[in-house]
Each structure stands twice: as C-alpha cells, then as structure tokens.
Amino acid sequence: MNVVPLEGKILKENDRVAAELRARFQEHGILCLNLVSSPGAGKTSLLERTLESFAPGERVAVLTGDIQTDNDAVRLARAGFPVQQITTGGTCHLDARMIEKALAAWNLEELDLLLIENVGNLVCPSNYDLGEAAKVVVLSVAEGEDKPLKYPAMFFRSELLILNKVDLLPHVPFDLRQARANAQRVHPGIEILEVSSLTGEGLPRWRDWLQARRAALRRSLAAP
Amino acid sequence: MHELAIANSVLEAARTEAEKRPGMRLAKIVVRIGDLAGVDADSLSFCYEALVKETDLERCALEIERIPQSNECPRCRHNFTVANFEIACPACGSVETRFAGGDELELAYLEMEDA
C-alpha cells in the first residue's frame, strides 16, 4: 500500500479562476461584492434601491444569478446601469468561471463597482470564491433569527450582514437583538446594518458603507 | 446540493494523481472537511458513491475527516477546539480569540495498491 499525499483545496480550479479575477479587479480598481442570502430575502430589491441612488454615469455594474429566469435582470436594468443575467440552469450557486465568462462582454476600464447577486441559497455559494473583495449576506426579518446558527459557513465568510425588511418588525416575531447576537457568535466582529428596501430606512448607512469601501480601495491603489 | 460538484472535483484530482503512477490503482481517497465548510459529509459520500458506481473506481473508498473549528488565543497562545461557537479561551478566559481552522475543504492523501 502506497500513501500519496495530496496538496491543496478540493475546489482549486474555481479558486484559481477566482484569484485571476481578484487580480483583474485590483488592476482596474474595481470593488467587487458578492451578495448572498436565502431566496426571497430581498437581494434584488436592495440592489434596485442601490442602483437608483447612484447618479447617471456612476461606474457601476451588476451580475445577477438565477437558476431559471431573467426576471431580476429585467428589474435591475431599469436603473440604466449595465446588468447581465447569469442563468445557471439548475446549478445552486455562481462559480468563478461564470463570472469570468460574463465579464468578457464588458470593458473593465469603465467600471469601479461590480455587484454580484448570487443565487438565493445560504449553503452552496459559501464554497465558491468569485474573486470578490467581500461577501455581504442579506437576512430578512421574515426569516428566523437563528439563521446564522443554522448556516454558519455563510455568516462566517461574510463581512457585512444586512438585516432587511425591518419595516415588517411590528408584524413578525423576529428578535432583532437575538439575530445580532447569533451573527456575532458565529462571526465575532461581523458588521451589521438594519435596512428596509421598501421604506428606505437604513439605506443611507448601506450606501455610506459602500462608499467607504470604494474610498478605501482607491486609497490603497494610490499608495506607493 | 453542491456536494456532487465537490465529489467530482475530488475524483478529478485523484485520477490526475493516479495517472502519474502506472501499475497502481486507487484504494482510498481521504479528504478533510471543516465543520464550517458548509459541506454535508453524508451527502458528499452519497454523491461520490453514485459517481464511482460501475466505474473502475467502484472499489475505491472515500474517507472524510471532519475538522472541528479551532481558535487560537493571542494572549496565552492556547489553541483549542470551539464547540457550539464558544470562542472564549478555556485557558485564560480571554474572549478575543482568533479563528485558526475548521473551514477546510481539502484533499488529504490517496492510498494506492498494486493493480
């Protein structure tokens, strides 16, 4: 019996493509964010509001993943910024190769913010690096406050948690404090914002967060 | 259900390695999966079995080593297993401990025998 040691990650092909994407984003000064959530948490609505808040001419684009339809791309395109639908045809997550393929249609010189809306799923997308600077996980108050404990991998790998649909709080038995504590337990130090894409509550703080990340990237690129 | 894609990647990596060793055949593939990797071990085993069924690798076993989360305490250097997300250092009580492992999704080793 011979034992052959193996090196490396199981998804190393995805990781290799993701590393190439990350280098390209860095080279072009693009902040790339990977938005993840369960289905129906409100990623598309949040992105619609986000795009609407940008002045025409802002260098922003969106890639949106869906298993079957292009409904989200149709909604997002109304804001007038470049949007592409990635239809995975049954696959439960986006992978780096899909992003690479979609980006071939765009001139990266014209972008400095790329928002990726992943397939609604709190499990599988956590394993697939897309070359993003950060994952942002969206959890709506119409779900359970124990989601971070049930899906720790996703919350552990996300830098920011957006608690969405806070306009529903008077109508649902969602314990905001417990949700925050659960997220902190799985990922100590995770940033948390409370927003409502419907009423606009908290959206300025999300926008500030985005702009701060963009500014930090610009500063890091300007530094010698 | 991304375990099928993961099982496929494991098989590809194992086959690539095995092809470098003519005259030997794969007996076992060992992988390391962290508790925070978001991969279900039973589901991965199920997908692997389905993929190798009625192939030359039908008798090659997949062994999954589960890796629990571990943290390290910067204050006293203690490295400890985290159960139930309790990250306070059991040695000195500090709550400012750092993640040290448990999100692995790695190939470990192959066992090969004469064909």
pLDDT in tens, B20-65: 999 999 999 999 999 989 899 999 999 999 999 999 999 999 999 9
Of A4, A124, A151, the CB nearest to B17: A4
Residue range A154-198, pLDDT digits in tens? 999 999 999 999 999 999 999 999 999 999 999 999 999 999 999
Q: How far apart are the first and last CA of chain A?
A: 54
Across the range A127-153, mean pLDDT stands at: 96
pLDDT at A21 over 90: yes
Do the Cβ atoms of A158 and A125 come closer than 8 Å? no
Fold of A12-213: Rossmann fold (3.40.50)
pLDDT at B50: 95
Do the Cβ atoms of A129 and A15 come closer than 8 Å? yes
Q: Which residue has 């109508």 as its token pair?
A: A171
Alpha-carbon distance A91 to A94, whole Å?
Answer: 8
What is the dotted CATH code of the domain comprising B3-114? Answer: 3.30.2320.80
Alpha-carbon distance B17 to B21, whole Å?
Answer: 7
CA-nearest of A72, A39, A36 to A153 is: A36
Q: Give A174's Cβ-side CA count (13 Å radius).
A: 22
Across the range B94-108, mean pLDDT stands at: 92
Do the Cβ atoms of A3 and B111 come closer than 8 Å? yes
pLDDT at A24: 97
Query: Does the beta-carbon distance from A10 to B110 stay under 8 Å?
Result: no
- The residues spanned by each domain of chain B are 3-114
Across the range A80-97, mean pLDDT stands at: 91
Q: Burial of A209 by CB count in 10 Å (0-12 exposed, 13-18 middle, 19+ buried)?
A: middle
Mean pLDDT of chain B: 93
DSSP character at residue A9: B
Task: Output the six-digit token pair for A208.
Answer: 């500030």
Residues 128-157 of A with CB under 8 A from B: 128, 149, 151-154, 156-157
Element (H, E) at B74: none
- Chains A and B form CB pairs within 8 A to the count of 82
Note the maximum CA span of chain A: 66
DSSP character at residue A103: H
Query: Does the beta-carbon distance from B107 to A157 stay under 8 Å?
Result: no
Describe the crossing of helices B3-19 and B41-52 by its angle, rounded to 10 degrees.
Answer: 50
Residue range A154-166, pLDDT digits in tens? 999 999 999 999 9
Residue of B nearest to A11 (CA): B9
B110 touches chain A (CB under 8 A): yes
A6 touches chain B (CB under 8 A): yes
State the pLDDT confidence band at B1, using cuts at 50, 70 and 90. Answer: low
A127 touches chain B (CB under 8 A): yes
Integer angstrom CA distances of residue A123 from A200, B14, B19: 28, 25, 33
